[in-house]
Amino acid sequence: MRYLAIIGLFVLVGWGAYAYYQDTQSRLKTLQENNARLETSVRSLEKVKATLIEDAQKQAVQIQNLNSRLQDAEGYKDDLIAKLQKHDLTKLSLQRPKDMEKIINDETKKLFTDFESITAK
């Protein structure tokens, strides 16, 4: 009877060790699968990060170009304002209506042609 208890104890310890081994192997397999998924996600996120950085740099260059063009346009606007303030268009229109009409029509036509060429690009 005593031997049976000792054998039962060994069987129980053996079964416990086997169950522990199986559980550990199962956990290792799950952890390896999760690690592989995480590594794939990290590589994907690194690619996305690199793309975002590249896009941000391109946008910074574009913003600089647009700011430069804006400053040029504002300078041109200031020149036009100065020219318009220098001339009294109402007085000139009353003194020489035909000449002023031709000048305004010609310049308007030129301006519309410029707009069409700019927007056609």
**pLDDT at site 121:** 61
Cβ within 8 Å of residue 93, ≥6 positions away? 100
Residues with pLDDT less than 50, the chain = none
pLDDT, residue 6, reads 87
What pTM was estimated for this model as a whole? 0.52
How far apart are the C-alpha atoms of 78 and 84, rounded to whole Å?
10
Torsion of CA 29, 32, 38, 44, to 10 degrees: -110
Q: In the prediction, which pLDDT does 94 show?
A: 85
